Structure 1
Amino acid sequence: MPELPEVETVKRTLSQLVVGKTIGNVTVHLRRIIQRPEEPLEFSMMLQGETIRSVERRGKFLRFLMDNYTMVSHLRMEGRYGVYDSKDPLETHTHVVFHFTDGSELRYKDVRQFGTMHLFPLGQELEEQPLKKLGLEPLDDAFTLDAFKSKLAGRSTKIKPLLLNQEYIVGLGNIYVDESLFLAGIHPEREAGSLSRQELASLYEAILSTLNDAVAAGGSSVKSYVNGQGEIGLFQHQLKVYGHKGEPCPVCGAHIEKSVVAGRGTHVCPNCQPLKKQRSRKA
């Protein structure tokens, strides 16, 4: 599933490719992708004549801001956007096509068919689901150390599932949580409330470092991710623990272990990330 760095990369790519283009029509080949409004025909009619003014990101969601509406799009596991000429043949698993007045098209493909699109009056999208309850943005100025500490303070939840919870911090998925916890030297099963002030500061810096490095590398193409121009990300070549079960830790040489935490495959170095005896406390 695309995480924050991948969605940020798609956002930046689409900003170059579709901003300023006007929608002439929309063709929906798979109606369940359209979550709001309920009828795909209404979705298409509402977007006719709308010009894309900017492409933004909120967590793992893309926001297409237009004259009167905002389209909120979630790629889920394998959704992807691409810009084509209208004469290009339609590829398999293309479910939604935005036909622009200049003869180009924005096409949404999704092999797993889990992606979603919601259409809201401009500005209303932040007040309703699926964006309403999202937490702190790690790449936003509001993501300060104090704000981060306040989200974790006193929580008895294990640190990994808490970081995966989008109501606390948005955009972090399995890959970047594992990498951030490794960089901070924190075991994923530690209780959030047991982390010391120094450990919280280290984790805060690790999250920022990991995400910024991943965005700079265009994200991680661990499975099928590509950006809006069909290019793969390169951060997978910098991953320290994720996907490296049984391999030596790049820091200490111990074998990286894989287990399941909160239902997710989890990679740790048992030496660099010891599971300490813990006593919950406020950060």
Structure 2
Amino acid sequence: MPELPEMENYKILLNQKIAGQIISAVQINREKSINVNPDLFTRTVQHQKIMTINRRGKHLLFQLQNGKILLLHLMLGGWMYFGTEADKPKRTIQVRISFGDQHLYFIGLRLGYLHLYNQTEAEQHLAHIGPEPFSNDFSINEFKNRISQKHGRLKTTLLDQEFIAGIGNCYSAEICYDAGILPTKDIDDIGEAERESLYQSILSILQKGIHHGGYMDNPLFKDDHLTGGFIDLRQVYDREGEKCKRCGNVIIMETISSRKTFYCPNCQK
């Protein structure tokens, strides 16, 4: 599932590609991917200029000139492609938004969605999400205060979108590895120094993920050499049975709260 770095990468690249462009056509191939009548969706969106694209947690918000917002959550298996009909992926397209002969394809939206909201509705939909890791309000003191109110396993806490926005299965594993802490460890057993290391690892690993285009291996457009660059930099995620790049021990996979969790039993204590 795309996480904060993947969606931030999409945000940056899509602002370069379509911000300021006018939507010339809309095609809805799967009505369950949207939240209103297809005709209403098309009438509201078509001929509107994309003013900007923002991100909140794992969501993207396409701000339209008429004040409406397209709220995207890709969920598991979802991705996008921008290009012409000639070079589009040979995959089922749930929604297509056109800008002349260039199109933004929404693919794999079986669990994900592209919903049409006004500003108030969008804010209400996102109101439960916790702070952005790179916001000015998310200081070390704020992190310590928030984590002091949590109990249970570290992995489960990091995945809680009300605790911090945007962290999922991949980056929670990489953050714990970078901090040298077992994801299975109970919050109450994590000391002050470890909490400070955890905070720094959240910022550094997410920033590294953004800088290298996230871990999704599908390019956003033809000749996109950035998207997916983080996949070769993973230390533990999805590397069960492989050797730790730091110590040579075998990476372990364990299931926590129905989620696969990867760690090095030697480097993480």
Give the TM-score normalised by the residue count of structure 1.
Answer: 0.87
RMSD of aligned alpha carbons: 2.0
2-structure distance, mates of 1:92, 1:189: 38
| Contact 2:81–2:221 (Cα < 8 Å) also in 1 | yes
Q: Does residue 117 in structure 1 map to residue 124 in structure 2?
A: no
Alignment of 1:150-169 (within 5 A): 150-169=145-164
Post-superposition CA distance 1:7-65 (Å, at most 9, x none): 11111111111111112331111000002x2x121111111221101011111111101
2-structure distance, mates of 1:145, 1:80: 33
Deviation at 1:119, TM superposition (A): 1.2
Deviation at 1:93, TM superposition (A): 0.7
Report the equivalent of 2:71: 72
- 1:99 partner SS: strand
2-structure distance, mates of 1:228, 1:5: 17
Runs of at least 4 residues of structure 1 off by over 3 A? 85-92, 228-232
Quickly say closer, same or farther: Cα 1:230–1:164, change in 2 above 3 A: farther
Report the equivalent of 1:180: 175
Report the equivalent of 2:93: 94
2-structure distance, mates of 1:86, 1:65: 25
Quickly say closer, same or farther: Cα 1:188–1:49, change in 2 above 3 A: same
| Contact 2:176–2:198 (Cα < 8 Å) also in 1 | yes
1-structure distance, mates of 2:223, 2:107: 12
Identity of aligned residues (%): 32
Report the equivalent of 1:20: 20
- 1:241 partner SS: coil
- Aligned pair partner of 1:128 in 124, 128, 133: 124
- Aligned pair partner of 1:245 in 230, 240, 243: 240
Report the equivalent of 1:278: none
| Contact 1:72–1:125 (Cα < 8 Å) also in 2 | no
For this pair of structures, how many residues does the alignment match? Answer: 266
- Aligned pair partner of 1:209 in 179, 197, 204: 204
- For structure 1, the residue ranges without an aligned partner over 5 or more in a row are 275-283
2-structure distance, mates of 1:266, 1:113: 24
Give the TM-score normalised by the residue count of structure 2.
Answer: 0.91
Quickly say closer, same or farther: Cα 1:32–1:126, change in 2 above 3 A: closer
Quickly say closer, same or farther: Cα 1:230–1:153, change in 2 above 3 A: farther
| Contact 1:82–1:108 (Cα < 8 Å) also in 2 | yes
